[in-house]
C-alpha cells in the first residue's frame, strides 16, 4: 500500500475540507434563514424565531405536499427496488457481456439525460394516457429516475457476492427459490437497502418532472416550494427547504452507516 507523507496527507485533507465547505455552504445557508424573525429572506438573520416552522406545519397545503412527497417516495423506493433487483439479476445471468453492457447503459440513461427532456417525454405520454396529476403517474415517472440508482447499488451487491454459496446450497438440495431467499438475498440486502433509500431521496427531491405532471389536487413539496418562490419569498420556504435537507441527509447517512456495518459484519 502506498504511504503518503504526513504533510502531504494533511494538505490533501485540507483541500478536501475546503472543497466540501465550498459545496455545502450555499445549501446550509437556508437553515439560519428558516429561523429568522423577519418576514423576508435576510441573511444573516438579525433575530431568531420558530414562527416559520409553525407556519409550515400549521398550513394544510404545506403539510399535505410533504405527505404526498413521503408517500410517493416510499412507493417509488419499493417499486424501483423490485425492478432494480430483477434488472440486476437479468444482467447477471447474461452470458453476452456486450449485450449486458448495452443494457446497462440503457438502464442508466435517466441519470445522464437532461431532466427537461425526460419531463417533456413523460408529459406527452401522460397527456394521452390520462395519468397527469395522478398518484400512479407520479410513482411511475419518479421510478424511471430512481431506477438507475437501485440498479447500480444492487449490481454492486452482486459483484461482492460469492456465487459458490449458491452452488453449495443447490448441491445440498435447496431449490432455486429457497437458495435465493436464504442465501442470495441476505448477502445483497445492504445494496438493496442502499438503493431503496437513494430511490426515495431521488423521488423526494424531484422537481422538473413533477412540475410537468402535477395537478391542483396532487403536488409534491418541491413543486409547492417552486410555486411559492414565484408568488412570495417568506421564510416558510426556507423552513420547507430545511425539512427536506434534514430528511434527505439523515436518509443518506443512514444508508451509508447501514451499508458500512453490513460490510464489516
Locate the domains of the chain by residue range. Answer: 60-264
Q: What is the pLDDT of residue 200?
A: 92
Mark residue 24 as left, alpha or beta (left: phi above 0; alpha: psi -120 to 50; beta: remaining): alpha
Helix (H) or strand (E) holding 237: helix 236-264
- pLDDT, one tens digit per residue, over 202-213 is 999 888 899 899
pTM above 0.95, yes or no: no
Whether pLDDT at 263 is above 90: no
Q: What is the pLDDT of residue 189?
A: 85
Question: CA-to-CA distance for 213 and 119, rounded, in angstroms?
Answer: 8
Whether pLDDT at 1 is above 50: no
How far separated are the first and last CA of the chain, in Å rounded?
A: 24
**94 pLDDT band (50/70/90 cuts)?**
confident
Whether pLDDT at 2 is above 60: no
Residue whose C-alpha cell reads 400549521 in the numeric block: 58
Whether pLDDT at 265 is above 60: no
* Strand, coil or helix: 103: helix
What does the pLDDT average to over 47-68? 87
CA distances 114 to 11, 209, 214, Å, are 36, 11, 19
Q: Phi and psi of 108, rounded to 5°? A: -90, 0
CA distances 241 to 64, 97, 231, Å, are 15, 44, 16
Question: CA-to-CA distance for 91 and 198, rounded, in angstroms?
Answer: 21
Q: Phi and psi of 50, rounded to 5°? A: -100, 10
What does the pLDDT average to over 97-104? 78
All three cell numbers of 116, joined, read 427537461
Beta bridge partners of residue 215, listed in sequence order = 218
User: Which of the pair, 255 or 83, is modelled with greater confidence?
Assistant: 83
- pLDDT, one tens digit per residue, over 169-197 is 878 787 878 888 888 888 888 888 888 98
Question: CA-to-CA distance for 89 and 157, rounded, in angstroms?
Answer: 11
Fold of 60-264: MetI-like fold (1.10.3720)
What does the pLDDT average to over 92-116? 80
* Strand, coil or helix: 50: coil
Tallying the residues shown for the chain, one arrives at 265
- pLDDT, one tens digit per residue, over 3-30 is 666 778 888 888 988 888 888 877 778 8
Residue whose C-alpha cell reads 412570495 in the numeric block: 232
**227 pLDDT band (50/70/90 cuts)?**
confident
User: Which of the pair, 45 or 135, is modelled with greater confidence?
Assistant: 135
Q: What is the pLDDT of residue 176?
A: 79
Within 8 A by CB and 6+ apart from 44, the residues are 32
What does the pLDDT average to over 76-98? 86
User: Which of the pair, 142 or 39, is modelled with greater confidence?
Assistant: 142
> Comparing 94-103, 115-124, 138-147, 244-253, which segment has the lowest mean pLDDT?
94-103
Whether pLDDT at 82 is above 90: yes
* 199-263-244 Cα angle (round to 5): 30
Amino acid at each position: 500500500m502506498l504511504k503518503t507523507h504526513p504533510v502531504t496527507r494533511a494538505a490533501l485533507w485540507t483541500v478536501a475540507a475546503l472543497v466540501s465547505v465550498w459545496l455545502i455552504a450555499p445549501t446550509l445557508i437556508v437553515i439560519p434563514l428558516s429561523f429568522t424573525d423577519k418576514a423576508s429572506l435576510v441573511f444573516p438573520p438579525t433575530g431568531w424565531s420558530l414562527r416559520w416552522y409553525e407556519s409550515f406545519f400549521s398550513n394544510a397545503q404545506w403539510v399535505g405536499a410533504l405527505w404526498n412527497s413521503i408517500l410517493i417516495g416510499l412507493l417509488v423506493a419499493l417499486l424501483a427496488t423490485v425492478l432494480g433487483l430483477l434488472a440486476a439479476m437479468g444482467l447477471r445471468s447474461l452470458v453476452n457481456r456486450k449485450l449486458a453492457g448495452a443494457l446497462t447503459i440503457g438502464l442508466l440513461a435517466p441519470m445522464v439525460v437532461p431532466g427537461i427532456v425526460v419531463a417533456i417525454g413523460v408529459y406527452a405520454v401522460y397527456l394521452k394516457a390520462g395519468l397527469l396529476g395522478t398518484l400512479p403517474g407520479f410513482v411511475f415517472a419518479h421510478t424511471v429516475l430512481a431506477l438507475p440508482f437501485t440498479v447500480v447499488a444492487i449490481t454492486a451487491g452482486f459483484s461482492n457476492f460469492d456465487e459458490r454459496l449458491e452452488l453449495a446450497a443447490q448441491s445440498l438440495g435447496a431449490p432455486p427459490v429457497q437458495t435465493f431467499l436464504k442465501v442470495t438475498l441476505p448477502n445483497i440486502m445492504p445494496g438493496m437497502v442502499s438503493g431503496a433509500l437513494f430511490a426515495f431521496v431521488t423521488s423526494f427531491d424531484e422537481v422538473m418532472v413533477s412540475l410537468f405532471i402535477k395537478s391542483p389536487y396532487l403536488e409534491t413539496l418541491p413543486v409547492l416550494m417552486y410555486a411559492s418562490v414565484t408568488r412570495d419569498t417568506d421564510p416558510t420556504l426556507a423552513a420547507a427547504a430545511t425539512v427536506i435537507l434534514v430528511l434527505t441527509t439523515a436518509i443518506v447517512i443512514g444508508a451509508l452507516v447501514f451499508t458500512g456495518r453490513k460490510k464489516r459484519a
